[in-house]
Amino acid sequence: MRDLLTLVAKDLRLQAKTGELLASIFIYSLLVVLILSLASAPVHGNMREGIHVIASTLWVALAFAGVVGATRVIEIERRDDCLKSLRLAGVSPSILYLAKTTTNAILLAGIQFLTVPVTFVFDDATTFAIVPRLAFVLFLGIAGFSAVGTVMAAISTRAGGRESLLSILILPLLVPVLLGGIEATKTLLAEGAFLNPNSIFWLKLLVVYDIVFLAVASLVFEYLIEE
């Protein structure tokens, strides 16, 4: 546990020092939001369609940011054999995986913290009371994206590919998360709470998905960083 915190703190400090990663991903997701809002501008004014646009924009921005973020977080370690050094220092691979996933999730959460208000402004959302619940759904999505993103980035950086390779690996795998997240967000925006059984189901799916992938990925991660 202490190892985990140390590693996360180290990664975050590293990211904070340059700030380049956070800034570039933020601008990237900002552009995604802008383009998607622009593309769907004609449907604005229609309540139902508006909700649809906000929900999908939020999640597509998260998906793209997740792909870029995951690659960078792993790539930092690949360079100069840092993973090997960490392993030699006696850090267990599962802890290493969880640390990377946590860092990834914190970065994504930071990005979402900035992107969500922008989306609300661009797409003219009217309710702000739902924000805590929205944060909860997004948290589940972020957990899924970082869990899958980290392990797949370990594969794709190894294969010498970058974001393009990673996106073909994780986006199909994360479609259940995207679908569930978008559905839950839509009902949340429409009803202000998770009242109907449908959205409860989606939340359950997200939770189960996150737990399963975290568990399985932390087991296989060991073999992916072996030199």
Which positions touch another protein (CB under 8 A)? 148, 151-152, 155-156, 158-161, 165, 168-169, 172-173, 175-176, 179, 201, 205, 212-213, 216-217, 220, 223-224, 226
User: In the complex with another protein, which residue's Cβ is closer, 128 or 223?
Assistant: 223
Side chain identity, residue 88: L
* CA 199 distance to own-chain centroid: 20
In the chain, the N- to C-terminal Cα span, in Å, equals: 25
Side chain identity, residue 59: W
User: In the complex with another protein, which residue's Cβ is closer, 53 or 111?
Assistant: 53
User: In the complex with another protein, which residue's Cβ is closer, 82 or 216?
Assistant: 216
DSSP 124: T
User: In the complex with another protein, which residue's Cβ is closer, 22 or 155?
Assistant: 155
- In whole angstroms, the minimum distance from the beta carbon of 98 to another protein comes to 16
User: In the complex with another protein, which residue's Cβ is closer, 29 or 157?
Assistant: 157
DSSP3 helix / strand / coil % (the chain, rounded to 5): 85, 0, 15
User: How far is CA 28 from each of CA 47, 64, 115, 176, 222, rounded to the nearest angstrom?
Assistant: 27, 8, 10, 23, 31
What whole-number distance in Å separates Cα of residue 105 and Cα of residue 111?
10
- In whole angstroms, the minimum distance from the beta carbon of 27 to another protein comes to 28
- In whole angstroms, the minimum distance from the beta carbon of 17 to another protein comes to 31
- In whole angstroms, the minimum distance from the beta carbon of 29 to another protein comes to 23
- In whole angstroms, the minimum distance from the beta carbon of 26 to another protein comes to 27
Side chain identity, residue 141: G
